[in-house]
Amino acid sequence: MKIIVTVLLFVTCWNTTYAQDAALAKDERGKYIYYEVVEAKGVARATLVQRASDFLKTVNKKLVSFENASDTAVAGKGTFMIVLNKSVLAHPSGAVHYRFTAELRDEKYRFWLTDFGFIPFARDRYGNFVPATTFSTPLEKSPGKLGASEWKKYLESTATQAKSFGDQFKAYLQKAETRKTEPAAVNKTRW
- Quote the pLDDT of residue 177: 52
Query: The domain that contains 165 carries what CATH number?
Result: 3.30.530.80
In a domain, 35, yes or no: yes
Could you give the number of structural domains in the chain? Answer: 1
- Quote the pLDDT of residue 18: 46
In a domain, 7, yes or no: no
List strand residue ranges (DSSP E) for the chain, in order: 25-26, 32-39, 64-69, 73-82, 94-105, 108-123, 129-131, 137-138
Cut 0.75: pTM above it: no
- Quote the pLDDT of residue 5: 47
Q: At 132, which amino acid appears?
A: A
In a domain, 8, yes or no: no
In a domain, 190, yes or no: no
- Quote the pLDDT of residue 17: 44
- Quote the pLDDT of residue 36: 93
Residue 35, domain extent: 23-173
3-class SS string, 116-170: EEEEEEEECCCCCEEECCCCCEECCCCCCCCCHHHHHHHHHHHHHHHHHHHHHHH
Over the chain (191 residues), the average pLDDT of each successive run of 10 is: 55 47 80 91 88 82 70 87 75 88 91 92 86 85 80 90 91 68 53 51
- Quote the pLDDT of residue 61: 66
Q: At 145, which amino acid appears?
A: K
In a domain, 14, yes or no: no
Rounded CA-CA distance 153/190 in Å is: 69
In a domain, 187, yes or no: no
In a domain, 165, yes or no: yes
Q: At 159, which amino acid appears?
A: A
In a domain, 10, yes or no: no
